[in-house]
Structure 1
Amino acid sequence: MQKTNSIYASELAQKIDGKLYGPDKLLSGHYTYLNRAEAGDIVIRHWINDKGIKIAKDKEISCVITQNPHEDAVNVAKELDFCLIVTDYIEYATAYALNQTVKKYANDSIKIATTGTNGKSTTTHLLYTIFSDLGFKTYTNTDAESEGNTLIDPKVASELPEFYNENNGLDVITLEVSEIQGWDDRIMENHAYEMISALDADVTIITNASMDHINLLRSFDHLLEEISGAARAINYVDKSSLLILNYEDKNIAKMSEIVENNSNVDVMYFGNYDDDDRLLSVSYKPKVGIYVADELYIKYDDLPFTSMHFIQDIMAAICVCVYYNLDHKKVVKSLKNYKPLARRFIKLRENPVIIDDFAHNPSGIKLTIENGYDLGENVYIVDAIRGSRGDDINREIAEALAETLKNRSNYTLYITSSIDVVDHLNWVEPSEFNIFEETLNREGIKYTFIEKLEDTLIKVVDEAGDDDVILLLGAQGMDPASGILTKHDLI
């Protein structure tokens, strides 16, 4: 397998604001994980200890880059004459790895990035599916858990060479990019900007902006600044490129101002159809379908899902299809047959309707409940508290539940800590439970708390009538729900 572009360790350290320990050697391996690395490769790992250095030496890895050398890692690297680079910003290393890997394996590919608070996974997966169905060799980093959309780990840099060799080429990259990222309450400043710049994107899509990752945010303006990095990234690309914006989110629509003086950047908007104003490139007319300018592109009955937030994702994807002049009939066929990512408003059962959705932030909670009310007579909601994610995000989610339900009467709300199915990384801390409960109580929202997810699911299915709807909401704490329901023959 061919290797990435060569660079001396000292030069690499300089590019990523790092310090080199050990020999200054020429590096030419792939950027990857420790457990996937082969001889000559470069490992990026946000922490490593002396044992990890010894493992890397034994595997004949050429270099390890880390942010947190634990125990005696630095001294062991010196003793073993092993190349170790320590940087305060692991995202710089991962971004550099991504950029160099793209140049090597995908320089002539179509490169698409999608960011925003909600919808980026579905939009990315839609584009992956459409391009794949039309015969393009298409790589994507998105998955049901959306764990690969950050610069924390070298997922994309590690997978691109493998994809290239397995498929004898690479035509399209469609990348999901976290709008804001960090860990241990440290924000990776300009995350979207750094990742999209590293990709050298031809197309950037910004879906929307709403509060999430509360522990990393200083304010809503801070969130907008981070998301706008996607527009700033494409503004600095010296080639013809496209910025796609959600016109219904005015904060997002205004980001066109960032590129308004750049003749290289085209802007396309998607949003609601307006009979009088032909501003939008792609628009939706309720119960009729999605239009491109004045022409009906896909009929309402042919849409793979009809919830408004998912229709926005489809419109964003269609913008790309129009820009690249993809075959209309083939795109519509792909959309009609589209199978969504797991836990993206998936219907698990009829009578009662059971909807499983990865609603893990306030806006996602509101959208899913509002759409759920169209599906049944009474609405049963099971929400998994977000364990080990902090008090702020759980307060925001509880407030979103309260705001959405306070003027409704035909609901039954269950909350669970899913103690029977989550590991220690997702345990609900006492303060998280308390803030959730206090918020619901303060807003006068009736609810029942059950510790175990399995007990909660069995109870709610037993209570719901055939004409009702059950909404399963939450992130890691709700992920095992479909498996539990299957085990009990409830779906």
Structure 2
Amino acid sequence: MQEISIKASDLANKIEGVLYGPDNLLSGNYTFLNKASENDIVIRHKINGKGIEIANEKGVSCLITQNPHDDAISMAKALNFSLIVTEHIEYATAFALNTIVKEYAEDSFKVAVTGTNGKSTTTHLLYTIFSDFNYDTYTNTDAESEGNTLIDPRVASELSDYYHKNNNIDVITLEVSEVQGWDDEIMKNHSNKMIRALDADSVIITNASMDHINLVKSFDNLLYEISGAAKALLNGDKESLLVLNYEDENIRNMANIVSNQSNINVMFFGNYDENNILSVSYKEGVGIYSGNELYVEQKDLPFNSIHFIQDIMAALAVCIYRNMDRGRVIESLKNYKPLARRFIKLRENPIIIDDFAHNPSGINLTIENGSKLGNNLFIVNAIRGSRGDDINREIAEALVKSLKDRDNYTLLLTCSVDVVNHLNTVVDSEKNIFLEILEENNIHFMLFESLEESLLNVVNLASDDDVILLLGAQGMDPASRILKKHDII
């Protein structure tokens, strides 16, 4: 394997950056500052002079940033240290990803999954199936889905580590955020850039519903960002696959983007209709079909909720496209262990379901499916901390939509002050907008500052034949640990 090397000035030109300091030949790994070793190239969204000093002491060959704070540039000059400043940190992370893929995984089969909901489960399903087939498979998906962006070089760094540990990469299954940015600044064409950098062989688009409203100002903007995933396949002429959700009209219409490309195969997944046979489809109570042939029976599916069945269909489309052994695929599905907090049943009597429902459509789907499991519905929802007023307004409105016509619900809200750090603290404006929306729509609720208090109360309120839904992102993550501490699960 040849050493990956590039001149600092050439790297600066490729990422539209400005080089301060010496024009060294760079040959290290693309990585984080706290992980960096000698000769590595660090990508960091913001840095100050102290950070430059630390990088220099570690022997880092170059640091790339979008926001040089305080004396960062002057410190780099004083230390004769290579610093590249770019207005788009995603250009650097995309370049790093593409470089590592070309060097270590050019011949691997690369799948990218994007969309508003279902990315993590679909990606993890594929990772599990390919791993069960004994392929050396890398994925960036974890329970929190924090590695699906171009803000930092996590994927490039992990891919390099994976290769050096296994000396091979057969398959990459990559979860890609459909929209990304920070504060109110969108990282334009995020999915397109990331999938092009990956040089994907297959792209799955799960669905489109309004989320990240602090970044995209309209649903049309959201669709434009998601459509970039399909457009990414136009970047080359190799044989590739686009998998689309037929039941989502906006996603279905993205087939038009590649309609003139003979090298791009399109597969739809959706509801079974004998008058409109899809590549992959589901008939309730029967199972999932490949074309007009039953592929996997209902009893062998790891989930029964329709939104998870859609994730399975999306993953199966890739398996069918790859002509993977059907019996082994089904066996992998039967033994599948889902990601943490993905509609996980923690207890019976009452049923307790834990779900990482952190956006409006996810909340609506979880309530719709969860409410069918018991007589009375109890919901504990963690208000999203330090994520802005807009997303909390949207989540509150989603709760209104799901609960306004119900009379058998009990809603408990928590700020989770006992478990969150400063990055996830609920600020007054977030709490106020959440409560105002509920009050304006006559949605009754109880508010608890601590997560532990809300959990103990809901368990005391619910009867054995009821269902409890634990909804939310970081503020709800420790729920199962708390319930175990009190011998509730």
TM-score range, shorter chain: over 0.9
Match of 1:463 among 442, 455, 461: 461
Q: 1:334 aligns with which of 332, 336, 339?
A: 332
Q: In the TM superposition, what are the counterparts of 1:11-410 in structure 2 within 5 Å?
A: 11-278=10-277, 280-410=278-408
**In structure 2, C-alpha distance between the alignment counterparts of 1:56 and 1:398, rounded to whole Å:** 44
Matched residues, number: 489
Q: Distance in 2 between matches of 1:287 and 1:39?
A: 58
CA contact (8 A) 1:270 1:315 kept: yes
Q: How far is 1:132 from its partner?
A: 0.1
Structure-2 change in CA distance of 1:209 and 1:70 (3 Å): same
- Which structure 2 segments of 5+ residues have no match? none
Q: Aligned partners of 2:300 and 2:464: how far apart in 1?
A: 27
Give the secondary structure class of the aligned counterpart of 1:306.
Answer: coil
Q: Displacement of 1:168 after TM fit?
A: 2.0
Structure 1 distance, partners of 2:419, 2:151, is: 26
Indicate the SS of the match to 1:374.
helix
Q: Match of 1:322, as an amino acid?
A: I
The aligned counterpart of 1:486 is: 484
**Distance (Å, rounded) in 2 between the aligned partners of 1:260 and 1:4:** 40
Aligned-pair CA distance for 1:323:
0.6
Q: Match of 2:113, SS?
A: strand
SS in 2 for 1:214: coil
> Where in structure 1 do 4 or more consecutive aligned residues deviate above 4 Å?
none
Looking at structure 1, the residues matched to 127 and 383 of structure 2 have their Cα atoms a distance apart, in angstroms, of 31
Q: Cα offset for 1:372?
A: 0.7
The amino acid across from 1:82 in the alignment is: F
SS of residue matched to 1:142: coil
Distance in 2 between the 1:383 and 1:368 partners? 12
| In 2: Cα distance, 1:334 partner to 1:350 partner | 26
Cα distance in 2, alignment partners of residues 168 and 297 from structure 1 = 35
- Cα deviation for residue 437 of structure 1 reads 0.9
Distance 1:392 1:73 in 2: 34
For residues 21-64 of structure 1, what are the alpha-carbon distances to aligned partners after superposition, in whole Å with 9 as ceiling and x for unaligned?
A: 00111111111111111211111011111111111111111100
Q: What SS class does the counterpart of residue 368 from structure 1 fall into?
A: helix
The letter of the residue matching 1:449 is: L
Q: Secondary structure at the match of 1:86?
A: strand
CA distance in 2, matches of 1:60, 1:418: 41
TM-score normalised to the size of structure 1?
Answer: 0.99
Q: Does the 8 A contact of 1:46 with 1:68 survive in 2? A: yes
What whole-Å deviation, never above 9, does each CA across 1:98-149 have from its counterpart, x for those lacking one? 0000000000000000000000000000000000001100000000000000
Identity over aligned pairs, percent: 69
The whole-number CA distance in structure 1 between the counterparts of 2:213 and 2:183 is 12
Contact 1:3 1:30 in 2 (8 A): no
- Secondary structure of the residue that 1:371 maps to in structure 2? helix
Distance in 2 between residues matched to 1:34 and 1:237, nearest whole Å: 34
Give deviations 1:383-442, integer Å, cap 9, x for gaps.
111111111111111111111111111111111111111111111111111111111111
Partner SS, residue 238 of structure 1: coil
Deviations 1:201-233 (A, max 9, x none): 000000000111111111000000000000010
**Consecutive unaligned residues in structure 1, runs of 5 or more:** none
Counterpart CA distance in 2 for 1:477 and 1:40 is 39
Indicate if the aligned counterparts of 1:4 and 1:100 stay in contact, CA closer than 8 A.
no
Structure 2 length-normalised TM: 0.99
- Does the aligned pair in 2 maintain the 1:388–1:427 contact within 8 Å? yes
* Aligned equivalents of 1:467, 1:20: Cα separation in 2: 65
Within 1, Cα distance between the matches of 2:70 and 2:390?
33
SS, match of residue 373 in structure 1 = helix
- 2: CA distance, partners of 1:416 / 1:4: 52
Q: Which residue of 2 aligns with 1:427?
A: 425
SS at match of 2:267: strand
**Mapped partners of 2:3, 2:175: distance in 1:** 23
The answer to whether the 8 A contact 1:4-1:104 is kept is no
The alpha carbon displacement at 1:3 in A equals 6.9
Deviation at 1:237, TM superposition (A): 2.0
Cα separation, 1, equivalents of 2:54 and 2:399? 48
Query: Residue 4 of structure 1: CA displacement?
Result: 5.3
Q: Is the 8 A contact 2:357 2:363 kept in 1?
A: yes
Asked if structure 2 preserves the Cα contact closer than 8 Å seen for 1:185 and 1:216, the reply is yes
Q: Secondary structure at the match of 2:296?
A: strand
Classify the secondary structure of the residue corresponding to 1:381: strand
2:372 alignment partner, SS class: coil
Q: 1: distance between equivalents of 2:363 and 2:236?
A: 36
CA contact (8 A) 1:37 1:43 kept: yes
2-side partners of 1:3 and 1:426: how far apart?
A: 43
